Each structure stands twice: as structure tokens, then as C-alpha cells.
Amino acid sequence: MEKKITVITGGATGMGYAVAEELGKEGPVIIGGRREGKLVEAVEKLEAQGIEAYWHLLDISDVESVREFAEAANAIYPIGNVVTVAGIYVGQADNAGIIRVNALAPSTSTRSSSPT
């Protein structure tokens, strides 16, 4: 059976990291986020648990960044699952930014990760 990778946005901390821990028990994961240091730290912790893990910088509000993230994942293994956890809160952006990240980005990441 062909190995597939699970793509997790916002996977360096909190719920996203917990998802990476659980799904990483089943197969490889790639986590994306804006903070390189947090991503590196998370992957090191996942690898210490025997999980095959990768990271890539990702700005979920930027369509090109999402495409690059999906391409990076596909370069490792074909994408099997997409879990969108990344999000922002009131006060972290204006209303347009909140809508772009919380409402539009999940569909962008799913479309970008789907086979063409």
C-alpha cells in the first residue's frame, strides 16, 4: 500500500499539534505554520515519539503560500488527508483578515491539496 502524508495547518501548537501526534501514529505528517522555531520544535518532539514528521512555513491567508505548502507535502508523499486547524482570533486581524483566514483558508488549503 502506498504511503500517504497527512497535511495539518496550524500543527505546531495546541489542537494542531495534538492532531499531529494522533494522526502521526498512523503515518507521516507535515505541519505548517508561520513560526519556524515552533515548527522545528514540534517536529523534533514528534520525531522523538517515533513519528515521521515534516514542517513547512505556511501563511494560510496567502494562496501562493498554501500552494507551496501542498507542493512540499506532495514532494514527500501523496497527500492523503488535510486537517485545517490554523485560525485567528478577534484582535489578531481586522474583519477582512479574520474572514480570509477562518472562513476562506480551509477551502483554499483543501483545494490546493487535492489531486489535479
Q: The domain that contains 83 carries what CATH number?
A: 3.40.50.720
pLDDT single digits (tens) 69-99: 999 999 999 999 999 886 655 676 676 666 6
> Residues 4, 105, 62, 11: is their CA dihedral positive or negative?
negative
Q: How would you classify the pairing of strands 5-9 and 79-84?
A: parallel
User: Chain-wide mean pLDDT for the chain?
Assistant: 85
- Is the pTM higher than 0.85? The answer reads no
pLDDT (mean) for 53-68: 91
Domain with 63, as residue range(s), is 5-113
- As for how many domains the chain has, the answer is 1
100/20: higher pLDDT = 20
First-to-final CA distance of the chain: 21
pLDDT of residue 84: 86
> What is the gyration radius of the CA atoms in the chain, in angstroms?
13
